[in-house]
Every structure is written in structure tokens, then in C-alpha cells.
Amino acid sequence: MTQKKELEKMEKEWKKMKRRWIALPILSSILLLITGTLLCIFPKEVASSLTIVIGIIVLLYGMEEIAYCLANWEDEELIGLELTTGLLSIFIGIVFLVKHDVTLAFLGFSLGFIALVLGCIKMNMMIRRIRYHRPWFITLIEALVQFVFAFLFIFQPMTGFTASAIAFGFYLIIFGFDMLLSTIYINELLS
């Protein structure tokens, strides 16, 4: 009798654990699908929202720095640096919140420059035949894609953000479908 009750208890716990296990990946895949779809449909709005979020974070950081500065007014060595950092952060946060086009142009140029440098590094690796367990043509394709995005971001930042948001949206949609199908398949195996 006790062994039968233990088996029933274990079976109930297994079903409970299985329900918990399957709920999170399904919820995650649905969120990925929704986010990917929103990125593909509204890429410009996502870029604009990104500047607002960054602006709020930088503004709050600046306010925190000034509050820290006021709380530790006796420490003269830190006051200059903290006050300067706080005021500069508040200024940058306000610019991010008010001037979306300037902010996106600056972020786009910065991302384009970083992508250009990374593309040059990959091309250098390919030319010098430095491999990290991958064929050379994959490195070439990655470098060319980075060059395209780099020049797009440098010369047309909003177009670069739009193209990046759409590409990332498609990636999230594919990843969400993959996660959903894998979860369903694993659930079938466990049944």
C-alpha cells in the first residue's frame, strides 16, 4: 500500500513539474514571437522608444550622481567629478528625450563605426588565415554584412536602425518558432 501511494505521489509531482516546465518555454516563445513581429512592423517606433528609455536611464543616473554629491558635500575630492558627471548625464538624458533624430544619428554613427572596425578585424583574420574552427567564407560573409550595416549606419542612421530592427525581428520570430516547436516535441517525448 505505501509503495503504491508513493508511486501515485511521484506521478502527481511529475505531472506538476512537467506542467511547470512546459509553461515557461511556451510563454517565452510567445513573447519572442510578439516582440519579433512588433520589430518587423514598427521598426522606427522601436528605435525612437529606445532613445526614450536610454534618455530616462541616463537622466536618472545623473540625478543619482547629484544626490550623492549633495549627500557627501564634505568630500572635496569626489565632488568635482561627481557633480560634473551628474550634470553631464542630466544634459545627455534631456537631449536623448527631446532630440530623437540627433540621438539616433549619434547612436547610428557610433554603431556604424564599431561595425566597421569589427568588419576590418574579420577581414584581417580572413586574409591572415586565422581561423577559429570555421571556414573562411563564413568569416567573409560576416565581414561583408558588417560593412554593409556599418556604411548604412554611418550614412543613413535611421535606415540602419530600421533594417537592423527588421532583421532582429525576423531572428526573434524564427527563434520563437524554434523554441515553441522544440517545447512541443520535448513534451511529446516526456508523455
Q: What is the pLDDT of residue 129?
A: 67
Give the mean pLDDT per block of 10 residues along the chain (191 residues). Answer: 76 72 79 86 81 86 84 70 83 85 78 81 72 68 82 80 82 86 78 67
Residue 176 CA: distances (Å) to CA of 40, 165, 167, 184, 185: 14, 16, 14, 12, 14
Contact call for residues 86 and 62 (beta carbons, < 8 A): yes
Classify burial at 101, counting beta carbons within 10 Å of its beta carbon; exposed 0-12, middle 13-18, buried 19 or more: exposed
Classify 130 as helix, strand or coil. Answer: coil
Q: What is the pLDDT of residue 45?
A: 82
Contact call for residues 109 and 157 (beta carbons, < 8 A): yes
Sequence ranges of the domains in the chain: 35-98+156-191, 100-155
Classify 135 as helix, strand or coil. Answer: coil
Rg from Cα positions in the chain:
25
Contact call for residues 65 and 89 (beta carbons, < 8 A): yes
What DSSP assignment string belongs to 46-77? HHHHHHHHHHHHHHHHHHHHHHHHHHTTT-HH
